[in-house]
Chain A
């Protein structure tokens, strides 16, 4: 664990030095602009716009970072051969992977929390106060983080054996497919083909389900989110990421470096 921690901190440091956190400036500007421009609309709508815009931005920015940095996590170290000296140290390959994963998740957590703080500031600016119902935003932000964790795990898996470009393709394809798993389960073809339907249904349970993490509408309207969903999503993300990391470790532990 100590070793994975060292890798994680170094990954975080790399992200910071590569100016990944600069995206926060962009987010801050977006929030400021939104807060100023919605000023003319009636108070209820104003609040909703800020909330949905803020959450969408947090999600999109997080996804971009998770995918674009995630796919290079392992590949870059193999390609640049920075991994050679490291793996000769007493560190197991899965410890390295876990560290890489943890480092990027840490980066995303810091980044996401900073953006969440920005969102609350923008909200405070337009409403001049915060209500307990706004706490739902925190849960929405937590769900975004859970989703990002899963995306990082997938990107890391692809990073172990393919180029960043392909890994971006695979990760985004899985992400997009994962937004439609419910539809895959209920969808009936114009000319129903039972075999096809069974296949789609099976696939829908294998694919990562990203739909459940989206509570944007509820959060924007200040509706409560059931506690069961919080537990379910937490468990789902942890379990799915765990399995993906396990597969990644199995792939990577056998891999010959160039």
Chain B
């Protein structure tokens, strides 16, 4: 099994709904992908795309209608394999009558660790996620971000080879997000495989070797962040100020967006010179001309827009 730490094949999940659960809604459709060993993989998608569904299937919390997945070469139904994976649930919640130290010790008991080793790891993890001072407080008194940190600590406590995090940055303040990024990078340095889901595209761009974009239960793109976005420039942006009222170039100025005294105009590369001439003719002062680089965000938005358009078309045609 060289290469792939997580292999997903044709994974499909339906959720029942409606009267007596007779109807089914497909939440994940034939997902096939691989996460290479040692890479940080970002799982992107809008709300309800199927990210958590995929992750819950991988850790065995729910069961697929079709398809299989293997982690470290073992089928996901193999419970012993769970000793090598760490999982942070979405909006994690833990026994509120326990303290952070107690809950970590409890989870550590499910791994083959000696009591001394357990104690040492719990201490180390509390420090790592910045909860040493809150260790004796019952979790019922924890804030959302603090619970998120407990969740992260329990996910990596046993030194797993594969770490699966469902929205690890959600609920965290900027410092916390920075710390989680550092933890993910540290895991990568240690040679672990990390799969995490997120809505925060900049985090994905910053951390991931590869990302997968999932929309409406289907994988829509997969690859290095720069690669899937496409390297070709998306057009040019002209930044300018107007001296007069620019009446003799009203058409083109109407297309620009105004912020403060400045106007921004987006044109294609072919239109650039014509636009510049017109603007100069209107007495505009050109401040800068820059290439618009596609970002992950644009890519993401385009996919979703396309999807919406398609859904609308289907609705209209009534199929």
Q: B77-101 toward A: CB 8 Å interface, digit per residue (1/0)?
A: 0011111011111011111011000
Complex contacts, B94 vs chain A, CB 8 Å: 82, 85
Q: Determine if B59 is an interface residue (Cβ-Cβ < 8 Å).
A: yes
Name A41-73 residues within 8 Å CB distance of B.
none
Judging by beta carbons under 8 Å apart, are B110 and A6 in contact?
yes
Q: Determine if B109 is an interface residue (Cβ-Cβ < 8 Å).
A: yes
Judging by beta carbons under 8 Å apart, are A10 and B95 in contact?
yes
A222 to chain B, nearest CB (A): 43
Complex contacts, B273 vs chain A, CB 8 Å: none
Q: Determine if B62 is an interface residue (Cβ-Cβ < 8 Å).
A: yes
- From B79, B89, B107, B154, A81 is in contact (CB under 8 Å) with B89
Judging by beta carbons under 8 Å apart, are B106 and A10 in contact?
yes
Instruction: From A87-95, A101-109, A184-192, give the one contacting chain B.
Output: A87-95
Q: Determine the residue in chain B with the shortest Cβ distance to A257.
A: B61
If the complex has contacts A6-B106, A89-B111, are A257 and B93 also in contact, measured as CB distance less than 8 A?
no
Complex contacts, B89 vs chain A, CB 8 Å: 81, 84-85, 88
Q: Determine if B56 is an interface residue (Cβ-Cβ < 8 Å).
A: yes
Judging by beta carbons under 8 Å apart, are B59 and A81 in contact?
no
A257 to chain B, nearest CB (A): 5
Name A203-258 residues within 8 Å CB distance of B.
254, 256-257
Q: Determine if A183 is an interface residue (Cβ-Cβ < 8 Å).
A: no
Judging by beta carbons under 8 Å apart, are A85 and B87 in contact?
yes
Judging by beta carbons under 8 Å apart, are B56 and A257 in contact?
yes
Complex contacts, B92 vs chain A, CB 8 Å: 81, 84-85
Judging by beta carbons under 8 Å apart, are B79 and A90 in contact?
yes
A-contacting residues of B (Cβ < 8 Å)?
Answer: 56, 59-63, 79-83, 85-89, 91-95, 97-98, 106-107, 109-111, 151, 154-155
Known: A81-B89, A85-B87, A85-B151; 16 extra A-B contacts, CB below 8 A, are A80-B93, A81-B92, A82-B93, A82-B95, A86-B107, A86-B110, A87-B60, A88-B60, A88-B87, A89-B111, A90-B80, A90-B81, A92-B79, A256-B61, A256-B63, A257-B56
**Sample (7) of A-B pairs whose CB atoms are under 8 Å apart:** A2-B109, A81-B89, A81-B92, A81-B93, A85-B154, A89-B82, A256-B63
B-contacting residues of A (Cβ < 8 Å)?
Answer: 2-3, 6, 10, 13-14, 17-18, 80-82, 84-92, 254, 256-257
